[in-house]
Amino acid sequence: MKNSQLDYILRIRLPITIFIVITSFALTYYISRPERDGIGNTPEQPIQFSHKLHAGDMKMDCKYCHTGVDKTRHAMIPAVGTCMNCHTIARKDRPQIQLLKTYYDEGKLLPWKRVHKVPDYAYFNHSVHVNKGIDCTACHGEVTQMEIIGQVSSFTMGSCLDCHKNVHDKLPELKSINKGPNNCYACHR
């Protein structure tokens, strides 16, 4: 029996094409997701600073180091001098601390690898979030359990808007909070 061309197209070519299209979309979507929303970004840092030790076991407050978080747009990484507040004495024999000390003594730039980054055209403001009562863990996850700091939440615009629109579901502990703004100028100037 002679298979017509249409039959060939429908039975062989069409399913294969559809399969290839769907697979490539799905693969691209899942492979590129870390790039898009940044989840799992856990780069290696020049000094093996452990949040688990400092913020977790020693129960240091986030704001002791990240001082700008309730005053300004930027949360700020602490100055090397802040570390030396304790580490001129504390564990000064350890090699990592000595490495820290050389950065401080020589005035060298300490190049921490950036973990959480929102693109420059979005002007994220830490202080308005913190001053409304939103806890650091809501976006940054359980930092007190992280040996190496990494990103656990999605930082796409969609995720930000998702929380803005559904505040009472995402943050039920905050009773008197309003929905976040969803107009462009709130973040994009």
Partner 1 sequence: MPETKDEKVNQSVKADPNYWRSFEELHRDPKMIEQSHNEFQQSVTDEFDPKKLSSFSRRKFLALLGASAALAGTGCNDYPDRGEIIPYNIKPDEVTPGIANYYASTAACEHGCGILVRTREGRPIKIDGNPDHPVSKGKVCTQAQASILDLYNPERLKNPLKLGGSGLYVEISWENVDKEIIQILNSRGSREVAVVSGRIVSPTAKKLFDEFAQKYNAKIYPYELFNESLRNRAWQKSYGGGLYPQIKWDEAKIIVNLESDFLGSEGNRIENARLFAQGRDVNNINNFNRLYVIEGNMSLTGLNADYRLRLRPDAQHEFASALLKAVNGSMSELNSFSKKFDLSEAALRSLVKDLKQNSGKAIVYAGSTLSEEVHFTVNAINEALGSTSLYNRQAVELYPLISSGDLVSLINSMNSGRVAAVIHFDSNPVYHFPKDLGYESALKKVTAVISMTETNNESAALSNYILPINHPLESWGDNKTRAGFISSQQPVIAPLFNTRQKEAILLNWVNGDAKKYNDKIYHEYLMNNWQSSVFTPVSADSNFKQFWSNALHDGVVITNESSSSSLSFNSSGETSPKLVDLNSFVVALKPAYSTVDGRYADNGWLQELPHPVSKITWDNYAAISRLTADELGVKNNDVIDIKAGGESFSIPVFIQPGSADRTITIELGYGREKSGVVGSGVGFNAIVLMSGQSGTSPWIFKASVSKGTGSYELVTAQEHHVFDDERTKDAAQKRGIIREGTVEEYKKHPHFLHKEGHELFSIYGSQTNMEYTGLKWGMAIDLNKCLGCGDCVIACNSENNIPVVGKDQVAKGREMHWLRIDRYYSGSENEPKASTQPMLCQHCDHAPCENVCPVVATTHSPDGLNQMVYNRCVGTRYCSNNCPYKVRRFNFFNFRDHFKDGYQEANVFNLIYNPEVTVRSRGVMEKCSFCIQRIMEAREDAIEHNRTIVGSDVKTACQESCPTSAIKFGDVNDKESEFAKFRNHQLGYYVLEELNVRPNVTYIAKLRNTHSEEA
Interface residues toward partner 1, by CB under 8 A = 34-35, 38, 41, 43, 67-68, 70-74, 76-82, 103-104, 107-117, 119-121, 123, 125, 127-128, 131-132, 181, 183-186, 188-189
Nearest to 49 by CA among 78, 13, 19, 6: 78
CB of 103 to partner 1, least distance (A): 7
CB of 20 to partner 1, least distance (A): 16
The letter for the amino acid at 59 is K
Closer residue to partner 1 in complex, CB, 1/189: 189
CB 159 within 8 A of CB 37: yes
Rounded distance between C-alpha atoms, residue 174 and residue 85, angstroms:
35
Closer residue to partner 1 in complex, CB, 103/137: 103
CB 144 within 8 A of CB 51: yes
The total of other beta-carbon atoms located within 10 Å of residue 158's CB is 10
Rounded distance between C-alpha atoms, residue 71 and residue 183, angstroms:
23
Closer residue to partner 1 in complex, CB, 15/40: 40
Closer residue to partner 1 in complex, CB, 39/52: 39
What's the token pair of residue 104? 């401080």
CB of 165 to partner 1, least distance (A): 14
CB of 179 to partner 1, least distance (A): 11
